[in-house]
Each structure stands twice: as C-alpha cells, then as structure tokens.
Structure 1
Amino acid sequence: MLVVRLLGEVGAEVGGRPVDLGPPRQRCVLAALAVDAGRVVPVDRLVERVWGSDVAPRARATLHSYISRLRRALAGIDGVTIMRRSGGYVLVADTTEPVVDLHRFRQLCAAGDAEADDERAAVMLTDALKLWRGQALTGVDGEWIEAERDRLAREWSNAQHELTETRLRLGHGGQLVAELAELADAQPMDERVASQYLRALHEAGRTADALAHYQRVRVRLVEELGTDPSVVLQDLHRRILTSHPAPADASPPPAAGSRVPRELRAAPTSFVGRRGALHRLDADLDAARSSGTMMISAVTGTGGLGKTWLALRWAHRHLDRFPDGQLFVDLRGFGPDDLPMAPAAALRGFLTALGIDEGSIPPDAHTRSALFRSLTAKKRMLVVLDNAAGTDQIVPLLPGGESCAVVVTSRNRLAGLITTHDAGRVPLDVLSAGEARDLLTARLGTTRVDAARTAVDELVDLCGGLPLALSVIAGRAGAPLSTTVSELRQSGLDGLADDDPSASLPTVLSWSYRALTEEQAVTFGLLAGVPGPDAGLFTAANLTGLPPARTQAVLRGLEQASLLERDSRGRYRMHDLIRAYATGTARHLPDAVRDAALRRVLDYCAHTAFHAGLLLDAHRGPVEIAPPAPSTHVPSLPDTRAAMAWFISERATLLAAQQAAALQHRHDTVWWLALSSDTFHHRRGHRHDRLAVWRAAAHAATHLAHPAPRVIASRHLGRACAALGLREEAVEHLHHAIGLAEDHDKIYELAHAHQTLGRVLGQHDDHQALHHATRALHLFFDLDAPLCIAHGHNAVGWHTARLGDHDSAHGHFRAALTLHREQHNPAGEANSLDSLGYIEHARGNHHRAIDHYTQALTLRRSLGNAYDSASTLEHLGPPHVALGRPDQARTVWQEAQQLFRRQGRDRDAEHVQRQLDTLVGTDGYHSAEAAR
C-alpha cells in the first residue's frame, strides 16, 4: 500500500520502499494536495502554497508539469492518483485506510480521545506519535510550508501532552520523569508541562524535587511575565505540599551505621540541548543493567563544551536509580594548579563520605582503593569523576559494585579507559545554532533575545556554538547585545576573557595548552596558520618539518587533548576559537620558524598540484617549475585517479594557499597554482573557483619578468570569464593575450589565444569565430605541434558545422580524432567524438550519433570530467528522441540536469527541463495540455 509521508521528510513509499517524487518543489505540490487528501484544492490555492505570494510567471504551467510527473510516479499503486476536478486537483485513493501519514495520525488521535479505556487510548496515541519521523514537511520550503509545519508541530505537542496525561492517570509517572524533565527544560514557562512534571516527580517519590521545580517556574513567571502561576498549578502545588506518599518501588533504607553520600553539585539551571549525549548515557546505563556490569562512560571534548554540566544534568535525572548515594570529585586534570589531584587524595574524600573515620583510612593509595571497592561492592551508587587528566588517575577510583555507575569528564579522549575497561565514549561537540540561541534565551530571557535577533545571530556565530563562550556573553547582562557584538567582533578571543578563571575562555584553553609537550605545543601554534579550514597529514607534516609518521603521532596527541579533531576523511580541524587561541601561542615562535613552515606548505601545494595537474593533462604546454624548499614533503601520486582525489580533498587548502602566497608576494606560486589546478576546476565544474584563481594569477603575472605567464594568464582568464557568461570581459582579456603574444613573438600562446577567442565569439558569430579558429590552426601547422593541430581541427570543424557545412566539418573532426588517438590524448579524443556525434545527428544518422556520444561519455567519465560529461549527456537526448526512445532520452537528460544543478549551471539545467517537458505525452502518459 502507498503511504504519503508528511510527518518527516516529504515523500512516499510502498512497503517501506521510497518512491521517487522528483525535486523539492514537485514534492511540495504533493504535500499541498496530501494535507487535504480527498478534497479538491483549487489551482490558485495550490500555486500559492507552492510558490507563495511571489508567484513566478510560469507557475501555473509548471504546476501542470509537476502534476503530470507525480501522476506517473504514483501510477498503478493501490488506485492512488491525482485527479482533475472543477477548478482544481484532488489526491484520491480507493482504500479505507488513510494513505497520508498525517491523516492516519489524526485518525488515531481522535480515536484515542474518544476511547474511555486509558490503556487502549495510550496504545492509540503511542501509535499515532510513532508515525512522526522528526519535524514535519522537511525537504521542502516556502511560506505555506513554514506555517503548516508550525501548525503540525502544535498538533504533535497536543498529542504528546494527551499521551502523557493518559499515562499519568495509569500511574506511570515514575517512567515519565526523564522525558518530562527534557520537556520542562525546553518549555520552562509552559504550565501544562510543569503540571505534568510535578505530578511525575511526586509519583516517583521525588516530592522535594517537585516542590523545587514549582518554585523555579513561579519565579520565572513573575520575573519574565509579571504573573503568578495559574490557579490549577497553585492548587496542584498545595496538594503536593500536604501529601508525601513514598513510591511503591522505593528502595529499602541503607544499613545501620553507613552513610548515604549526596555529593553532586546542583543541576545547571540553563542547560540546553545535548539530547544525543543524554540518550547515549541512558543507553550505556541500560546496557550495563541488562548485562549485569558496571556502567563506565567517558564524556570527552575540549574545554568550554559543558562536559560537567552534561554529567550533572544526567546524574540529577537518575538519582532514583542510585539510592545508595552519589559521589563527586573534581580531579583538577586541567586547571590553575600545576598537578592534577592524586588518586589517593580523591579516595580519602570518598571513604570519608562513606562513613570511614579519618584514623581508619589506610595510608597508601592501593589499600584505599581496595577498601573503596569493598564498601561499594553491594551498592547502587553513582560516581562522577570530573575533569580527569587520564586513565591512570581514574582506575583507582572505580567502585566495586556491578550496580554502580561511573561518569567521567575529561579533555583527554581516555583511549586507555575505553580500551581496557570497555568504557562508553560520549564525545561532545559544539552546540547547534538553535541550541546556542536556546542557551542565550535561558540566560537572558525570551523578551531580550527576541528583541535583538540580529545581534543574537551574530553572537552565536562569533561564539561558534561553544557553551562557555556563550555563557561569558550572557554573564554580561547589563550591556546591550549590539554593543557586546561590536566589542567581541573587535577584540576576538580576548573579548571572552573574565576575572574568574573558570569563566574565562582564554584561561580555560591555557590549562589544556600547558599540558602539551614542547613538540605538541609548537605544532599547535603552527596549525593556526595553515591555509584553509583544515589540514591533511602532508600539509601538517610540511608545517612542522617533521616526517609524516612523526607528525601523525604529534597530531594524535593534540587530538587526545581535544584541541584538534580528525574527521572521517582523515583531515584535521580546529574550532575557530581554539584556532584563535593557537594563533596567540604562535606569536611566541621565532619568525624564522613560522616563515619556513609556511614556505614548505606553499611549496608542497604548488609542486603536488604541478604533478597532479600533469597526470590529468599530460599534454600541457612546455613550462617547468622551480625546485621546492628543502625539507618539503611532496607525495608521489601514481595515476589520474589519485591526482583527482588529491585535488578534491585539498581544494579548499589550495584556494587558501594561493591567497597566502599572494600576501607573501610569491607571485610565481600564485601563477603555478592557477595553471596546475585549471584542468581539475574545468572537469569538476568549479567555474567560480577557476575565475578567482586566474584573476589572482593574472595580477601576479604582471610582477613576473617573463612574458609567457602574462599571456597564459590572460588567455585562461578569458576562458574562465566566458564560462560564467562574462563575454565582454572574456573578449577583452583574450585580445590582450593576443597583443602580448604578438609583441613578444610567442607563437604557441598566440595560436591558443586565437583559438580561445574563436570559442568565445562562436556563441554569437560563427563567421568571426571561424576566422580566429582557422588562424590558430595555421599557426599550429607552422609549429608542427600534432596535438595542437588536432585541437585546431576540432575548433575549425565545430564552427564550420555551425555554419551548415557538415561535410567539411566531418573531415576536420576525423582528422582531429586520428591525431588525438596517435598522441594518446583521451580528453581530446572525447571532444572529437562528441563533435562527430553532433554531425551524425545533424545528418540523420542517429544510431551512429549515439555511438559517438556514448564513446565520448565513457572517456570523459574515466577522466573524472563531470563538466563535459553533463554536456555529452544532454547531447545524447535528441538522437534518442529522433529514434522514438523517449525513456532513454528522459534518463540521460535527467542525469545531465542533476550534474548541471550540482555545478551551478542553471541555464543549462533550465534548457534540459524544457526538453524534458517536450517528452510529456510522447510515451503514453498524459500530455501537458490534457493535464490542464
């Protein structure tokens, strides 16, 4: 049976398998019909739902096209279809079951509301909520979508509240505490949530917590809204005050003579987010309980991420699971003191808390640890080891009971604890933008945050989602947020300093920095100056001047210290604020060290790009690069696949390296990086990158003594401009290149400049284009350059074909193909085959055209040339149509369109769409006219 999904990402599936519904706006059409399934939605309303108030001129025509495609996608599935009715369209289905998950949800909610039996009602409401797969209507956008999404969110919230009420009536309050605690944090002034949370806490035997939460809600309502709690909530508070029943499953009191420690710090009041980390800790505890083992979980991450807050929040939510007490110690692994707390000192505190007299505490750490394990062997206790330096400090503090649980927080990744003690690892990252805003709201109040949305957004961005940085800002409650933004923008990391060391981000980071070895500290500082957002191993090795293997070991140490992250691609990255701190430490390094590091990195980029570029285009012009600086590590790339992979991974680094080289006045490096990466940028369709690097190279070339770089830069800059539709600028650069080449008698560059100018002019005037292409071919003949002659034949042939002389064009293309094959140049061979496909299609030889295009496509794909592959796929469509093969045409055009969109070639994508629209009605489906 078909199910249309709206309660999550908009889509459809049959038997759990997705149905391809096309692009987002087409799925938006389905959503606009599905919310009113079974009812006619007028065309005007559909258009408004999909395009909003700013309706596109062709919206109605495009809507009909979308409807036709959706009909095809839904054809033959359980009688579900989209039908034309007077004035509009309707989604209908010949079935008694709702096909839209939203309607199933509403049906189950209504049945649950009407059900008198709470057990059955809870089942129905639970089934209804299971239909949700996250936020409703994701994957599409628009004005109507946003409004509908908000409305559906309220429906979800109402259903969730109804289920909670039902479960509370059934006596499940103890099971709801954790869930309601999270809701109460997210909606601190929602009195309905507060009421349910109070009842659940009271039912779980946590009456004191219930009363404390009521006071927090009351204070917040008074301070922020100037009102007292509702009569209903006040009445519930009075009833809880006068009734303190113990929960049915309460644990027996501890044995006589023992102490029940309650050492946890207070739960943080402005804690937000971290749902995934909290669920991970929950899962670790459940897994330990089910397997009969002790839970050990390590919460790791850099300073300022809120590890301690997370541990405390989780611990306070689960106090009922540890009736024999909770122990807490700050191990001072990273702090103002030079040395972390010794395990023996921490054990003394634990033993005292458990009721052991001072005089009875053993003198040595090993005996204390053994006694601690004995005292906790039969208990259900929670031990929070905060701010641990490493595994050796933690192991003596592990309790002895299988029913105990240990939560450790550390800036160290604690690989030893995870490996040898099977600890679970809960890595923390920065807060999302939404969570960061929630944190500021919790600290500053909704009114203030809503009144300064722009300033808040910039603060979130400047703080990079780091909770400590956001808390420092929130602590300056007296200053206007716009002023705070301005100060932080100007002062950077120093603006997050504070007199209290524990609340000062630079100070907190300094504690981690102090724990580094000298080699790690130098590397940490140098990494701040790496070009680009991240670094591969070879980039880092060239920064440090160390061998790659040794560099990897040093980086692993920084990663263990949570000052560096390594992603799934093996690349290393710093949080922006940590990088800012590292920049400060780098200032203490000698200038010679920093200059040599940057020189090695720039030489690594230039020389590896040079060799990788030759692998992609072995027939590049006759130029050589100067040797790299001593100690530069340049990897050996074996083949074109490795070269393309290297360019893809280092793309951002190379762009940043060129900018760094320009600032260093290394004009030759700027030019080389542009030339070496040109083939990569073309084949991957990075047109804007290509233009940017050649603009920089053209400027750099004016500072070089030899004229050839200036000619080459002007020519390539012209090509890059033309690729982005900047025709006039392209022609200007190419005329400049021709003038330079003539002035300096650079025949090779003169010929290429004429050929490129012909290609640009051919977009509007094939007669002029043919003139320049022919001039280039004659120059290539004079140079006796076979490969260049092949390119010249292809260019002359193309413009000749465009002028209608297909026989002459065919001869040029054949000559080009022969030469490219003799010179073993697959890229040129693909160009000739693509041109021959054009000629054969024009002559009516459609099978032969398809054969040529297919060969060209195979070659281009083997070269990783996605840019020209997209064009060849588009060219394959017309001969398929001519042969009565609309399905094959549709397949190649859809793939071409996907590539065009990925490459930002919107005009090409729109042209393909127009061709796809012509297929409607040619293969048994409804025509566009019939769809109207």
Structure 2
Amino acid sequence: MNRGTAARSADQQPGGPARADAPAAAPVQLPPRRPALVGRDAELARLEDILRRCDPAPPVVVLTGIGGVGKTALALGWLYGRLDAFPDAVLYARLSADIADPASTALHGFLRALGVPGREIPPSPHQRAALFRGLTADLRFAILIEDAARSEDVSALLPGSTAAFVLVTARTQLVRLLADGAEEISVDPLEDAPASQVLAFYARRDGLGPAAERLLAACGGLPLALAVTGSRLRHRPCRAPEREVRRIDAQPKGIAAMADALDSSYAALDEFAARAYRACGFLPGPHLDRAALSHTLQRLPGFTDDDLDDLVDAHLLRDVDDDTVDQHDAVRRHARALAEQVDDQRDRDRLLDRYTRWYRDRTVAASTLIHPHRPGFAAATAGIFADRDAALAWWTRDLPVINAVADDAADRGRHEELWQIAEASWGYFLYHRDYPPFLRLFTAGLRAARACGEPVAEARMLHQIGFVHRKLGNVEEAVAHDEAAAVIGEREQHALTLATAASRAAWAAEAHGDPERALDLYEDSAEKHAHADRPRGVGLARLRRGNLLITLGRDPEALTELAAAAEIMVEQDDPAQHAEVLVALAGIFERQGDDRSARDHLARARENVEPLRSPHFQNTVDDALAALDRRTAEACGEAARQEIR
C-alpha cells in the first residue's frame, strides 16, 4: 500500500458500519521536528533494532525520563527519519491530564485522520477502539503517544496490525504496559559534550568562556533547560554568560521550565514518596543508601523501598546498585528547594542528625573489622557487617558520603559525631593512604574534639594529623602536632598517648639527624607500650628500631629487632605490619647477597597483604619485588659484561 491510500474503506472491513473516506495522502500528524538532536545514538540504535524485529504483536516502546530530558525530541527525530517505514500513516496523540477520557479523545482524532466522518464515529470508547483496530488491521503505520500517565490509556490505543509501531513517552514507568510486553528505553540527561552542542546551537555564540561549565551544570544535561538558556543568550547578545549563571543561581529551583516539569512529577507522588524525595535533596553525599534512608525517615525498610522505587519510576531518583540510589544535580536542587519550602528547619535538622549518627555507627563498626588493632573511643555495634571484606567494600563505596556527612556535621556543629567519624577513619586511611582528603577530615575532627572537651581524642587527632604531615614530607608540621599531643598525654597521664608520643619523638629525632636519640626513644616507646599492655605497639617500636639500624649499617642488631617484631606481629594477627617486617628483612638478605632468602621473604609478604585489599601495602611489597628484580638483572648484566671482557 502506498501513502496515497492510507486507510481502507469500512465496507471492506468485516462488520464495519462506518466508511472511511481515504485521504488524498497518508496522514502524518506529528508536531514539528525538534532541532539539535545529539547524544542519542544508543537510543536511536535501540529503536532501529526493535523496528527490524519480526514479532507477532506490534512493537510498543516506552521512552521514559524526567520532564525536559528530550523524550519527545528523540521520538520525533526518529520518526521523521523513518517515515518511509510507515507509508500508511503516522498518528499522534497527547494524553492530556486535563481531559476526562484522553484515550477516547485520542481515538476520535485517529479515526478522523484516517478518513472516518465525524458523524460515523461511535460514542463508546470500546466501539471506537474496535473500529480503529479494524480500519488499521493491514496498515503499516506508527503512533506517537505523548505524556502517558496510565497503562490502560495506552492499551486502549494499541492497534491490531503487526506492521504497526507504537512509541510512547512517559515520565514514569508504565508497569502494566511493560508487563504486557512493551519495551522501555530510559532517556537520561545528556553528557557534557552533547549538552555543550545543544547549548551552543541555541545560543548561536562561538564560545561561552569560563561560564560554560557552570551553565551546563545548572542545566543538568536536560535539553529543555539547555534550549531555554541558550535562547535567552541568543536573544540578549550583550548579556555575559556569567550574568546568566548568576540569574539561574538566584532561582531556588533553578531554570523555570525545568522546575515546572519537576513540579509536575512531584505533584503525582504520595505523601511518603514526596517526603523521601525532599529528604534526598538535602541529605549529604553523592548517593544515598536505602538502609540509611529507612533509618533517617523512620520508616520500615519495605515501605522505604516502595517509596524509593516510586521515585525511580518517576525518574526523580536513579538506581546505582541494589542498595543505593542517586539524584541528578538538577533534580537534587529542585528537591532541596522543596524541602526548604515544605519542611521546618528543625525537622530537616532531625533528619540530618539521624543520618549522621547512622554513618557514625557504621564507620565505627567497620573500623573494628578493617583495623582491629587499635581500640576506638566510640562503642561499636556488633553485627552490622558480616566480615572485614563487607566492611571494606562498604567503606570504599561510601567514602565520598562519609566525607560529605563529616563536612555537614562540621557546618552544623555536630562535634561529637564528627570526631568519632574522624577517629574511626584511621584504619581505612592506613590501608589506602589518600592523604589530602584524610588530612582535611582529621583536621575537622581535631576541632570537634576540642569543642567537645575530649583531650584524649584531641591528642589522637593530633597524632593522626602529624602522621599525615610526616608522610607528605611536612616535617615541622608533623613535629608540632606530635608535640602538642605529647603535652596532652603528660597532662592527662594517658599511657597510650604517651607511648605513641615517644615513637613520634623518635621519628623527629631521626628527621633532625640524631639517630642515637631516636633509638633510645623507640626503646622508650616499646617500654611504654608494654606498660600499657599494647604488645602490637611494642612490635611497631621494634620494627622502627630495626629499620633505623639498617640505615646505620648495623644489620646484626637490626635482625634481632626485626625477629622480635615479626614474632609479635604474628601473635597479634597483623599481616600488614608483619609484611613490613618481611620487606625489611628481605633488604638485609639482599645486601648480604642472599637473593633467594630475600625473594622468599617478599613472597611471604605478598601472601600476607593480598587478602587485605590494601593498595598501600600491596604497592609496598610490589615495589620491593620490582627493585629486587631490577638489581638482580643489573647484576646479571654486569657479570655477563665481565665474562665478555
């Protein structure tokens, strides 16, 4: 059938009382094509794949996404490019929520487009649907249904022709339609590169300068917002992009067109999903743990999951994995603005406090498994994590959230939770050694401990900060923090603080070129740790004495210290520090020409650190093995050259 005979007459349909006056040309009801369709290659390819399939039922594809994300632009761009695949008709309906029976109204429009006189269109929605299916049974055509909110409205418009193609746009998942076999294509915000192209297309400017990145962030990758922003700049050629950024920043919900679309999606939520949506807007961190939200909102986990699933279906949240969700920046801004309008500040603070305490409890519990060798000050809740691997995986995933929670606690003066989070972070830090962010966290923890009047916690923060400065090569900063901790230890007569202070004083003596004093201070640290009943601290002092003796060329004494350290670390079940001892011993054996023993010790060290999933300790061992291989190769090369001579 060609485009000139779009519909068969009703007297050719079995039992059809109405007659369709075939239009002169096949109807194409589509709205105008939208310009600047970029960044949608994957979605267009998926539509092509579905079109090429030979299914017994007509394909039904639902494009889902938040308002303004470009669902209709994608549908129109694809349909206009494939008109040749639908020679008999391309029909269009917008299921407006303002109409009592949008499906029946849409069917009336379809039948009129197909040539059925208005007087012969039956009044009953079911009769209209039956007539529509009869008229189109053999047609090759497409339907675009825009803004669908209910599966049943779409179902009423589905044709019977296997050569038909139905494309639907919706802001939420149409669950029943999907259960009946419809395909879903999620339309996400644009990445920065295609978003820049859309913004530049509408702005008609060669470059937007330094403000471009902020404009893109404000638009959130939403084509509607990009088009509105670009058009404003095009029609105001004298306006600097920086001023447009300031204008957007001054609006609580961001760009008005985008806010209107999000307001519409929000209005469809029930009270519990709406409350969860608002909370997601101001709880700190780049993603949200479902269990943390359940605790914070004081709602049973099953109900919370239902609320969050409603938000995911409405494209107001995104699933990250089975346990976490996140929010697009533009959506988050909208949710935060709504929370500030709807929720009292005290209510928001209560939610933030519960969220902060949830993360404090998890960091403390995780720390006891990740690094059980140093007793923490806050009591740990048992049973939160199954084992060390689970605790480490959680911390790795949620590290950005932990830092964000700590920043929020600092801003709101929640000092106790803040220093406890900072103190509990020591173990994870030791195994990963990302110095700058942890230095920031420990410094905030120091201020919080002081504000709480917790001198021993303050001393521990000082020692943690001093350690980081030492590793960063900031000798004087490290010494200043360690000496301040020692003063507190003396004043409070806290045995463990004094033992650690002696070890840090020994390092300072090393750094200032006084190795003999350092050896004495390490010995003093060992004695103080023994007095405090901390055998691992004794082992660390022995390890540090051994390393210093190696640098002094006193290998026999070093071997004695390192042997004692190795025995203690095995007894204390500390594979990381035992590996450090083995690396030190390997160095001695290598210098003695015993490469086999050196390699054996490094192999044992690697076995120790592999289960720890610690980049720092793994790199320490790998670097030692690489250095041994390099020196062995150099020695072999030199021997070969000597033989040639």
Taking structure 2 as the reference length, the TM-score comes to 0.91
Of 371, 383, 386, the residue aligned with 2:131 is 371
Of 841, 844, 859, the residue aligned with 2:590 is 841
Indicate if the aligned counterparts of 1:380 and 1:401 stay in contact, CA closer than 8 A.
yes
Q: Deviations over 1:811-858 (max 9, x none)?
A: 111112222222333333223222222232233322222222221222
The structure-2 alpha-carbon separation of the partners of 1:626 and 1:857, relative to structure 1 and needing over 3 Å to count, comes to closer
In 2, distance between residues paired with 1:792 and 1:392? 74
The structure-2 alpha-carbon separation of the partners of 1:920 and 1:261, relative to structure 1 and needing over 3 Å to count, comes to farther
The structure-2 alpha-carbon separation of the partners of 1:468 and 1:843, relative to structure 1 and needing over 3 Å to count, comes to same
Q: How far 1:555 sits from its partner (Å)?
A: 0.7
Of 482, 486, 507, the residue aligned with 2:260 is 507
In 1, distance between residues paired with 2:229 and 2:595? 68
In the alignment, structure 1 residue 459 sits paired with structure 2 residue 215: yes
In the alignment, structure 1 residue 555 sits paired with structure 2 residue 308: yes
Q: Percent identity at matched positions?
A: 27
The structure-2 alpha-carbon separation of the partners of 1:829 and 1:564, relative to structure 1 and needing over 3 Å to count, comes to same
Q: Deviations over 1:134-185 (max 9, x none)?
A: xxxxxxxxxxxxxxxxxxxxxxxxxxxxxxxxxxxxxxxxxxxxxxxxxxxx
**Equivalent position amino acid for 1:555 in 2:** L
Match of 2:106 in 1: 346
Of 278, 285, 291, the residue aligned with 1:532 is 285
Of 328, 332, 337, the residue aligned with 1:584 is 337
Alignment of 1:192-271 (within 5 A): 253-254=5-6, 255=8, 257-259=21-23, 260-271=26-37
In the alignment, structure 1 residue 323 sits paired with structure 2 residue 82: no
Indicate if the aligned counterparts of 1:681 and 1:689 stay in contact, CA closer than 8 A.
no
The structure-2 alpha-carbon separation of the partners of 1:800 and 1:514, relative to structure 1 and needing over 3 Å to count, comes to same
In 2, distance between residues paired with 1:564 and 1:791? 48
Q: Deviations over 1:89-147 (max 9, x none)?
A: xxxxxxxxxxxxxxxxxxxxxxxxxxxxxxxxxxxxxxxxxxxxxxxxxxxxxxxxxxx
The structure-2 alpha-carbon separation of the partners of 1:274 and 1:832, relative to structure 1 and needing over 3 Å to count, comes to same
Indicate if the aligned counterparts of 2:3 and 2:89 stay in contact, CA closer than 8 A.
no
The structure-2 alpha-carbon separation of the partners of 1:562 and 1:485, relative to structure 1 and needing over 3 Å to count, comes to same
- Between 784-793 and 463-472, report the one with greater CA deviation: 784-793
Q: How far 1:388 sits from its partner (Å)?
A: 0.7
In the alignment, structure 1 residue 658 sits paired with structure 2 residue 414: no
The structure-2 alpha-carbon separation of the partners of 1:683 and 1:495, relative to structure 1 and needing over 3 Å to count, comes to closer
| Partner SS state of residue 850, structure 1 | helix
Match of 2:15 in 1: none
In the alignment, structure 1 residue 468 sits paired with structure 2 residue 234: no
**Equivalent position amino acid for 2:198 in 1:** L
In 1, distance between residues paired with 2:383 and 2:101? 45
Q: Deviations over 1:442-464 (max 9, x none)?
A: 2232xx233x3333343123212
Aligned length: 622
The structure-2 alpha-carbon separation of the partners of 1:522 and 1:808, relative to structure 1 and needing over 3 Å to count, comes to same
In 2, distance between residues paired with 1:750 and 1:653? 34
Match of 1:575 in 2: 328
In 2, distance between residues paired with 1:449 and 1:920? 61
Match of 1:161 in 2: none
In the alignment, structure 1 residue 692 sits paired with structure 2 residue 440: yes
Of 235, 242, 247, the residue aligned with 1:478 is 235
Q: How far 1:613 sits from its partner (Å)?
A: 0.4
- Between 640-649 and 345-354, report the one with greater CA deviation: 345-354
The structure-2 alpha-carbon separation of the partners of 1:466 and 1:839, relative to structure 1 and needing over 3 Å to count, comes to same
The structure-2 alpha-carbon separation of the partners of 1:471 and 1:356, relative to structure 1 and needing over 3 Å to count, comes to same
In 2, distance between residues paired with 1:924 and 1:473? 71
In 2, distance between residues paired with 1:859 and 1:763? 30
In 1, distance between residues paired with 2:636 and 2:278? 61
Taking structure 1 as the reference length, the TM-score comes to 0.64
Q: How far 1:569 sits from its partner (Å)?
A: 6.2
**Equivalent position amino acid for 2:305 in 1:** Q
The structure-2 alpha-carbon separation of the partners of 1:650 and 1:760, relative to structure 1 and needing over 3 Å to count, comes to farther
- Between 506-515 and 792-801, report the one with greater CA deviation: 792-801
In the alignment, structure 1 residue 851 sits paired with structure 2 residue 604: no
In 1, distance between residues paired with 2:578 and 2:637? 37
Match of 1:610 in 2: 364
Alignment of 1:624-663 (within 5 A): 624-625=378-379, 636-663=384-411
In 2, distance between residues paired with 1:921 and 1:385? 75
Alignment of 1:660-675 (within 5 A): 660-675=408-423
The structure-2 alpha-carbon separation of the partners of 1:923 and 1:579, relative to structure 1 and needing over 3 Å to count, comes to farther
Q: Output the aligned Cα RMSD.
A: 2.5
**Equivalent position amino acid for 2:187 in 1:** L
In the alignment, structure 1 residue 864 sits paired with structure 2 residue 621: no
In the alignment, structure 1 residue 830 sits paired with structure 2 residue 579: yes
The structure-2 alpha-carbon separation of the partners of 1:437 and 1:787, relative to structure 1 and needing over 3 Å to count, comes to closer
Of 173, 194, 206, the residue aligned with 1:435 is 194
Of 114, 128, 153, the residue aligned with 1:393 is 153
In 2, distance between residues paired with 1:650 and 1:923? 53
Q: How far 1:740 sits from its partner (Å)?
A: 1.6
The structure-2 alpha-carbon separation of the partners of 1:923 and 1:354, relative to structure 1 and needing over 3 Å to count, comes to farther
The structure-2 alpha-carbon separation of the partners of 1:457 and 1:823, relative to structure 1 and needing over 3 Å to count, comes to closer
Q: How far 1:592 sits from its partner (Å)?
A: 4.1
Q: How far 1:258 sits from its partner (Å)?
A: 2.4
Q: How far 1:649 sits from its partner (Å)?
A: 1.0
Q: How far 1:424 sits from its partner (Å)?
A: 2.4
The structure-2 alpha-carbon separation of the partners of 1:304 and 1:328, relative to structure 1 and needing over 3 Å to count, comes to same
Unaligned regions of 5+ residues in structure 2, if any?
10-20
Q: How far 1:556 sits from its partner (Å)?
A: 0.7
Q: How far 1:300 sits from its partner (Å)?
A: 1.0
In 1, distance between residues paired with 2:308 and 2:439? 35
The structure-2 alpha-carbon separation of the partners of 1:295 and 1:761, relative to structure 1 and needing over 3 Å to count, comes to farther
Alignment of 1:266-281 (within 5 A): 266-281=32-47
Indicate if the aligned counterparts of 2:254 and 2:333 stay in contact, CA closer than 8 A.
no
Q: How far 1:920 sits from its partner (Å)?
A: 12
Q: How far 1:741 sits from its partner (Å)?
A: 1.0
- Which structure would you say has the larger RCO, counting Cα contacts within 8 Å and 6 or more residues apart? 2
Alignment of 1:30-49 (within 5 A): none
Indicate if the aligned counterparts of 1:324 and 1:381 stay in contact, CA closer than 8 A.
yes
Q: How far 1:567 sits from its partner (Å)?
A: 2.2
Match of 1:796 in 2: 545
Q: How far 1:712 sits from its partner (Å)?
A: 0.3
Match of 2:60 in 1: 296
Q: How far 1:612 sits from its partner (Å)?
A: 0.6
Indicate if the aligned counterparts of 1:761 and 1:768 stay in contact, CA closer than 8 A.
yes
Alignment of 1:767-916 (within 5 A): 767-881=516-630, 884=632, 886=633
Match of 1:630 in 2: none
Of 306, 309, 313, the residue aligned with 2:70 is 306
| Partner SS state of residue 206, structure 2 | helix
Match of 2:96 in 1: 332
Q: Deviations over 1:870-892 (max 9, x none)?
A: 0111112344455x4x4xxxxxx
Indicate if the aligned counterparts of 2:2 and 2:88 stay in contact, CA closer than 8 A.
no
Q: Deviations over 1:480-538 (max 9, x none)?
A: 142543433531455522xxxxxx22111111000001110000001111211111222
In 2, distance between residues paired with 1:557 and 1:321? 36
Q: How far 1:924 sits from its partner (Å)?
A: 10
In the alignment, structure 1 residue 518 sits paired with structure 2 residue 271: yes
Of 701, 713, 720, the residue aligned with 2:449 is 701
Q: Deviations over 1:29-52 (max 9, x none)?
A: xxxxxxxxxxxxxxxxxxxxxxxx
Alignment of 1:73-92 (within 5 A): none
Q: Deviations over 1:340-376 (max 9, x none)?
A: 7532222222222222233333333223222221111
In 2, distance between residues paired with 1:921 and 1:813? 32
| Partner SS state of residue 389, structure 1 | coil
